[in-house]
Structure formats: C-alpha cells, structure tokens
Amino acid sequence: MIIKNLRESREILDIKQKDVAELFSVNFTTVSGWETGKDTIPLKRLIEYANHFNYSLDYLFGITRYNDSSYLPLEINLDIIAKNLKLLRKQHKLTQEDVASKINTTQASYAHYENAVNLIPTTFLYNLTRIYKPFSIDSLLGNRIE
C-alpha cells in the first residue's frame, strides 16, 4: 500500500530519503519502500513523520489534495481510536463482521481495534477510506483542527 503523498511531501520539504531515514534510524531503502508501496509504513512512523513536518494524515493518505496548515500533532490514543471506530461503524449500520470483511481481516482482529487492544494497521486504516465516505483519518485518530 502506498501513502500517496509521502514522497511529494518530502520533495516539497526539499529533503532526501536518507534524511528521513536518519530521522527514523532506518535504512534509506526502507523509506524508498514506503514511498513506492513495496513496504507499508507503520502507523506510528507515519504519525511521527506527520507531526515532525506538520502534515495531516488525510493529506499524506491522499484523502485531501492540500495539506491543512492548522494540523495539530497527533498522539496515539487507543481509547479514542477505538471509540471513533465503533461510532463510525454504528453510524453506517455495519457489524464488526461487515467491516472486517471489507478491510480483509477477521472479526476477532477488528474487535481488538474497537476494544483498544491493538492499534489498527496502516493498511486497514487506508481500507476504511473505501468503506466510509466522507472519511477523515485525522478525525478518527482524534486530531482536532483549530
């Protein structure tokens, strides 16, 4: 899965893959894999990147075309994410089994995201953008826009 605007955001900042790699203490080939979709960037890393360079996740995922300059840094809060996942699912009158099937996981795994046991993986989070319209990853993760 490719984060649509990861490379573009880096190029706008006029920094190299090696600079991002140094920031995260990873090999530059890892960053290259994230940008090409060969590898999936872990959500924690993506949030670190967004916070460090002041990018919204909605922009990085390609949900919005422009970065929101009022983006506030995110902190991972499993309780907020779980509450928002459950609320979103219920608003769309879906069961956990329905959502799990659509994001290609098991109901038991999906239940762990709604019960704040595990952080939802980047790939599954991206797949939610295909289920829910309109959808904001920033809002789901608890970002409050000023």
Domains and CATH numbers, the chain: 6-60 (1.10.260.40), 78-140 (1.10.260.40)
- Supply the pLDDT for residue 13: 95
Burial of 142 (0-12, 13-18, 19+ CB in 10 A): middle
Alpha helices in 14-133 (DSSP H): 17-24, 28-36, 43-53, 57-60, 78-91, 96-103, 107-114, 122-131
CB 109 within 8 Å of CB 127 = no
- Supply the pLDDT for residue 134: 87
- pLDDT higher than threshold 80 for residue 145: no
In angstroms, the Cα distances linking 135 to 17, 127, 145 are 29, 11, 15
- pLDDT higher than threshold 90 for residue 53: yes
119 vs 10: CA distance, rounded Å: 25
- pLDDT higher than threshold 50 for residue 96: yes
Summary mean pLDDT of the chain: 92
- pLDDT higher than threshold 60 for residue 146: no
CB 121 within 8 Å of CB 43 = yes
- Supply the pLDDT for residue 143: 81
> How many degrees, rounded to 5, is the angle at CA 74 between CA 48 and CA 123?
65
Report yes or no on whether pTM surpasses 0.75. Answer: yes
Decide which of 137 and 144 is more confident.
137
- pLDDT higher than threshold 90 for residue 19: yes
Local confidence band at 123 (pLDDT 50, 70, 90 cut-offs): very high
Query: 97 — phi, psi (to 5°)?
Result: -60, -40
